[in-house]
A = this chain, B = another copy of it.
Amino acid sequence: MKRKLTLKLIAKELDVSISTVSKALRDSAEISEDTRQKIKAFAKLYNYKPNNIALSLKNRKTRTIGIIIPQIVHHFFTKVIKGIEQMAREHNYNVIITLSNNDFDKEVLNMELLANGSTDGFIVSLANETLHKDDFRHVTEAIDQGMPVVMFDRIVDEIPCDKVLIDDREGAKMGVRHLLKTGCRKIAIITTKDYVTIGKLRTKGYIEALESYGVRVQKELILKLDNIDRCDDECSAKIKHFLKDNDIDAVFTVNEMFAVTAARHLNALGKNVPTDVSIVSFSDGELSKHLIPSLSTVSQHGELMGRKAAELLINKLERPEDEVEEYTTAYIDTTLIERESTKKIKN
């Protein structure tokens, strides 16, 4: 196995010192034109590339961003990553992704692992279990150690760091308003339990939208589920009964899976979408687009979110030492995408 080319090898080969080689390659004026050319030619010929690890150690910087997310088999996170990737690349940063699988211990482990010199900062979306446990020491510890952290999507208010959020309340409001505009009045919502910030805020938006139209909010039309973005059999059964037991003409869901499951059950119940029941879902997924009928959604723009998160982090990483600490919370707007699961707006 060939050994990677190093300054030392070049130096030995050309019979100069290591310093000379280093300086020549960095175009230092200290080195004579002759020597510089010779060294650069040699380096180019044998394709010398400085060793990143050594540089990281020396500079105490890795130019690497660590992403900690619950899972990757999820279109939303996938898009966020893409956004982060883009922005990172533009600023010459690398990206390491680790998955927590929604497991608290694994999340802690991953953060510790990456905190030991591998990354300059973190972009984090917390695991379900972490939110549940209400234990964020691993995050605050990282922050205390001087690691900049940006949280997105699944955040915790109390942690002092930059945050990027979807404007969940506004988004939900927009989605439900659309249902109202198309004439629906018996609008249900399928959401998560309140400890999930997202669910809570979206529920709030739902309520506000109804109130703004003078529609009474009925408690029995609000279904709060334990699941967050998967929908297992139990979850599916609950949705089924919910849809069967209530007289509704529309359903708003806080994620795609709930919507798809609802669509399936409505279909089984012989209800036509959108004639009998309209559906609007919060989403950043492919599913909505291709379902028959395709789903109208409140689109989350995960890519933008990723870009923003990366931007905030990079700002922190490159700010001068003495700058005052200051935390931003950025909101990413949502867009309503009309598809086949809602009726046309009446004029």
> With the chains together, A113 CA to B63 CA distance in Å?
12
Which of chain B's residues have a CB closer than 8 A to the CB of A57?
51, 53-54, 57
Within the oligomer, what is the number of copies of this chain? 2
The answer to whether B146 touches A1 (Cβ under 8 A) is: yes
The answer to whether B96 touches A94 (Cβ under 8 A) is: yes
Residue in A4, A79, A292 with the greatest tally of chain B CB atoms within 10 Å:
A292
Which of chain B's residues have a CB closer than 8 A to the CB of A95?
96-98
Number of chain A residues close to chain B: CB under 8 A: 50
Which of chain B's residues have a CB closer than 8 A to the CB of A113?
52, 94
> With the chains together, A321 CA to B115 CA distance in Å?
31
> With the chains together, A116 CA to B54 CA distance in Å?
10
The answer to whether A49 touches B99 (Cβ under 8 A) is: no
Whether A275 is near chain B, meaning CB under 8 Å from some CB there, is: no
> With the chains together, A291 CA to B62 CA distance in Å?
44
Indicate which residue in B56, B73, B115, B267 contacts A49 across the interface (CB closer than 8 Å): B115
Residue of B whose beta carbon sits closest to that of A115: B49
The answer to whether A72 touches B82 (Cβ under 8 A) is: yes
Which of chain B's residues have a CB closer than 8 A to the CB of A51?
57, 116-117
- Please give the residue numbers on chain A whose beta carbons come within 8 Å of chain B beta carbons, in ascending order: 1-4, 47, 49-54, 56-57, 62, 71-73, 75, 78-79, 81-82, 85, 94-99, 112-118, 141, 144-146, 260, 263-264, 267, 286-287, 290-292, 321
20 A-B pairs (CB sep. < 8 Å): A1-B321, A2-B146, A4-B145, A4-B146, A50-B116, A53-B62, A72-B72, A72-B78, A73-B75, A73-B79, A85-B98, A95-B97, A96-B96, A260-B290, A264-B292, A267-B292, A286-B287, A287-B290, A291-B291, A291-B292
